[in-house]
Amino acid sequence: MIEVLKSADDLARQKWDVLVPTMGALHAGHQSLIELAKNYGKSIVVSIFVNPLQFESTTDLNTYPKTIESDLQMAKDAGASAVFVPSEKEIYLGEIERIDAGVVGGLYEGAARSGHFSGVLTVVKRLFDLVKPKYAIFGEKDFQQLFLIKEMVKKLQIPVNIVSAPTVRDINNLALSSRNIRLTDMDKKIAKVIFEALNTNDLEQAKAVVDRQPLFKLDYLNLIDENTFADADQLTGNKRLIIAGWVNQVRLIDNKAIGGR
């Protein structure tokens, strides 16, 4: 069985090359992050912590899937050196100093989930302080989160290199997520509209595709400048389509880079 660390003292016993932060319920997407981490160092720690600060409701927090035994096995099989499984008290000692996610943190996912990105940045900063990794790996599926973490690292001059990893998809091209376990086979068929919309590579065509699937409840769909999160225009070099919506009671997000120069 893989080594399980539970405290800052446990972490301090060695230096860590790479951190892969997760909330558990590991799947093939997380596995790809751990495998990518092996390109950046030999000592790889995977953190598993369901962060209460980034949930809007206690119901959503309490129903988040917890699969610790299979998580430990998957982390080991993928090549992790250890898994950090801290308690809430270990992460949040005393008064919590929340990190402001700024203007971009209030857009899109931030508009739909009040305080979400502040919670994400707060826990990621705490993990960086505890682990002190040279590198940290994050997936592009959560592109707005990735953007904000990079901005935080620059602003606070945190000595860690952020590595972005491509989105991993299932056989239906649905971006892998821990929440996908709550989707039925019919839900997954409905969710195909997400990738079909992104694959048009055009905002108006993407909207038309979504309109043809009434069982997908769209939250937002937009074409942005991926370097600023401003609306893209004809002069934008690096564009990205971003989308979010609901299938049944499950919220799904995705994105795709469009062109670039």
pLDDT in the model for residue 217: 98
Beta bridge partners of 162: 136
pLDDT in the model for residue 138: 98
Q: Report the first-to-last Cα separation within the chain, whole angstroms.
A: 46
Q: Is 13 helix (H, G, I), strand (E, B) or coil?
A: coil
CATH topology of domain 178-254: Pantoate--beta-alanine Ligase; Chain: A,domain 2 (3.30.1300)
Active-site positions?
Answer: 30
User: How many CA atoms, within 13 angstroms, populate the side-chain half-sphere of residue 245?
Assistant: 25
The pTM (predicted TM-score) of the whole model is: 0.96
Whether 178-254 and 3-165 are alike in CATH topology: the answer is: no
CATH topology of domain 3-165: Rossmann fold (3.40.50)
- pLDDT of 117-149, one tens digit each? 999 999 999 999 999 999 999 999 999 999 999
Beta bridge partners of 257: 240
- pLDDT of 151-174, one tens digit each? 999 999 999 999 999 999 999 999
- pLDDT of 60-119, one tens digit each? 888 888 999 999 999 999 999 999 999 999 999 888 889 999 999 999 999 999 999 999
pLDDT in the model for residue 61: 87
Q: Quick count: other Cβ atoms within 10 Å of Cβ 100?
A: 13
> So where are the chain's domains?
3-165, 178-254
- pLDDT of 6-21, one tens digit each? 999 999 999 999 999 9
Kindly state the DSSP code that residue 92 receives in the 8-state scheme: S
